Amino acid sequence: MELDFIKGHMGGNTILLFDGRQVRKESLVLETALKVLDRKRLSADQAAFLYPSKGKNTIRALIVDITNRNFIPACGGFTQVLGRALVETDIADRFGVKIENPVFDINLELESGASIVTVHTTKKGKFRKAESDMTSFARMLARDGVMRVDLDGIRSFKSGYYLVQEVSSLKEHYPEADFETMNTAAVKAISEAQALFQQKGFSSSLHFSLYDASPSHGGDLRAVFPHGVLTGNIEPTCGTGSTALALALLMTGEGRDLGLVRGGKLKVKLETGGGPVLGGPDITTVMVERKEEEVQRAFFSHSFVEITAMGTVIV
């Protein structure tokens, strides 16, 4: 089976895009995705299989994550890479997407619900940035529960199926941990926190957002997403992880203490990217708004998105 692919990244979060119609059966998508995501093949964090759908500029997507080795309900990096690919490759023609300058929308049908990516271009029609609507995903996390949790004395947050932690809470228990180099003690701290989170029944996934309040590139916080720390699958950036982090800060009041909340809205600039360690030179800008306990809207944008390869892979 031959599959055309587009490979790109969002600050180091590597994404593969495929035309799902080239897979013989939809039931084979998971198996196929895990093969192409492997480091010996195309080596990426997530793979998205795309299908045309009814409605203007609408695409349905099935997304597979290499760390959890299964489908995931949404992927922010995918939305950003897709936004750039629509402008710079033939994928818009394949799926009947009409590109308009200086801005156009692409409607996505994801497991978490409907989403919109707003793509901005320059006067010459070059990609400028993409804004990814994460409202349906944030609402899904909120339904699952957003709260402070205690992991045997380690202060943490549950944000849906995400574990969210601030660095100092881990450092209290693992003083040798260095999350800027991700040394052995840091790997131990993260993996043991994940194990506790699962053992206590908060989640069955490995999704993890780690942050601190020591920015050095003009952001508000630093972040990294060590979902698969034991297997080396540490994402420098992550759209769903950034949304989960922002939602936890907003819903628990932690963001107000950090001065990031105005009314019912939290806006945070996360220093990310550059490598699989805490912080980086890129900026992920996230906004989450709520009214009482209901999520009204959520979206994010990342400062550095690239298309790095195109070709055909034989599976």
Above pLDDT 90, what percent of the chain?
A: 98
CATH level 3 topology of 139-302: Diaminopimelate Epimerase; Chain A, domain 1 (3.10.310)
pLDDT tens track for 102-143: 999 999 999 999 999 999 999 999 999 999 999 999 999 999
Question: In the predicted model, what is the mean pLDDT of residues 243-252?
Answer: 98
pLDDT tens track for 259-275: 999 999 999 999 999 99
CATH level 3 topology of 2-133+304-314: Diaminopimelate Epimerase; Chain A, domain 1 (3.10.310)
pLDDT score recorded for residue 36: 98
pLDDT tens track for 196-240: 999 999 999 999 999 999 999 999 999 999 999 999 999 999 999
Q: What is the DSSP string of 210-265?
A: EEES--SSS-SEEEEEEEEGGGTEEES--HHHHHHHHHHHHHHSHHHHTT-EETTE
pLDDT score recorded for residue 169: 92
pLDDT score recorded for residue 293: 84
Parts of the chain belonging to CATH 3.10.310.10:
2-133+304-314
**Residue 292, pLDDT above cutoff 90:** no
Residues in CB range of 129: below 8 A, 6 or more apart: 119, 120, 301, 303, 305
| Nearest to 132, CA basis, from 209, 77, 87 | 77
**Whole-angstrom Cα distance, residue 150 to residue 181?**
26
Q: What is the CA radius of gyration of the chain?
A: 19
Dihedral sign, Cα of residue 193, residue 148, residue 180, residue 304: positive
